[in-house]
Amino acid sequence: MDISERVREVIEKTGLNRTAFAEQAGLDASKLSKSLSGARRFSSLDLANIAEIGGVTVDWLLGTERSKPAVAARAATPAGSVADKAIETAETISEVRAGLAGLGYRARSTPELRFAPAELGIRQGADLAQQALARLPEGPPGVGADLFATLERCFGIEVAVQHLNGRFDGLAWIDDDARVIVVGTTEVPTRQRFTLAHELAHILAGDDQLHVDEDVMEWRRAVSELRANSFAAHFLMPEAVIAGRLATDAPIDRRAFAELVMHLAVSPDALAWRLHSLARVSPAQRDQFRRMSTVQCAHLTERTDQYGEWRNASKHSRSPAALTGDALDAYLEGKITLRPVAQLCGLPVETLRDTLDSGAWSGPYPADEEPVFNP
């Protein structure tokens, strides 16, 4: 079927006559007739309105075949599992990006990094992390850095945070149109940061079209998981940064360890293992430091307020900032409807319209959810 045939199918399914349908789509009847006969091309806004009325996608109207990583993932996860919501979010993000790309709003490109296939997964992760860190103009993403924005700006990845029930850390999605990471809200911000880095590794390594991780902290034997966790450790806790913060010959006490935890914005457990792997602490010290909590580290370094803001931020949802901004620009330029923007923000169309009209829009976070601190 061509576009005209698909539009005719949509009109038929709505039960409206052409005049009534044209009115709902913001077209006059003569323009619709000319487009259906081939004498006039449907504009991008025409297609967006028609897709919205018919409950279909612009891709379907255009007859565009798109990669569907979700098919394999749903077959591999239990029906109704907590991952389904995240998968649907990733699919929506990809579809919106594909539609915007056709209007000239393209995502930043994702760099192609290389690692030696013959090396062990842990070594591969370290190599990937070194290459990724070299692409960060502001240096390693420590405390105070917006890791979400860093992944979007430096690696061309759409990052979303969602309220998800159950034990689910995140997923990485790769298709022809987008690179997407979806992670769950949490009261454990260090885990969320580790998940972001872990999923980034899956994308940079090109592991799968869709990779669902229920527990990123479990060091499974699969090469891809070893590589992703090694990447996260090296990316979030670079050896050069650790060496710069800790004197080589000085013993590491609880205060020095706590300072490093807060500077790197990682968990005491992760840092203790990292220091042990660098031969900076003994097995006994490693086990001692592992028993500390992030709250204790914040208290020792007099940063409890900062930790509270960080913990609060990790409990809020987030839409991909660059994508949401592109969609809003396209809407304001009259190229698309408000529906894709509302989908990304998880808001009803009318609620978002009222927010825009009132001048209260503050970005990709719902107005009452924008976090203060977002490391």
Whole-structure pTM value = 0.80
Question: How confident is the model at residue 29, as a pLDDT?
Answer: 87
Q: Are strands 170-174 and 179-184 parallel, antiparallel or unpaired?
A: antiparallel
Q: How confident is the model over 15-74, as pLDDT tens digits?
A: 888 888 888 888 888 888 989 888 888 887 788 788 878 878 777 888 775 656 754 444
CA–CA distance from 51 to each of 201, 231, 268, 326, 339 (Å)?
Answer: 35, 41, 50, 19, 10
pLDDT number for residue 143: 61
Q: Which residues make Cβ contacts (< 8 Å) with residue 134, sequence separation at least 6?
A: none
According to the model, what pLDDT value does residue 358 have?
77
Q: Locate 200 and state its tokens.
A: 């980034």
Per the CB < 8 A criterion, the answer to whether 51 and 337 are in contact is no
Least confident of 26-30, 97-101, 169-173, 235-239: 26-30
Q: Where are the beta strands (DSSP E) in the chain?
A: 158-162, 170-174, 179-184, 210-213
pLDDT band, residue 362 (cuts 50/70/90): low
For residue 65, the model assigns a pLDDT of 59
* Predicted local distance difference test score (pLDDT) of residue 219: 63
Domains of the chain: 3-62 (1.10.260.40), 70-236 (1.10.10.2910), 239-313 (no CATH)
> Best-predicted range by mean pLDDT among 245-249, 261-265, 343-347?
261-265
| Helix and strand totals (H; E) in the chain | 20, 4
d(CA 219, CA 318): 28
Nearest to 320 by CA among 151, 191, 122: 151
pLDDT in tens, 169-184: 899 999 888 999 999 9
Query: Environment class of residue 92 by beta-carbon count within 10 Å: exposed (0-12), middle (13-18) or buried (19+)?
Result: middle
Tell me: pLDDT of 372 over 50.
no
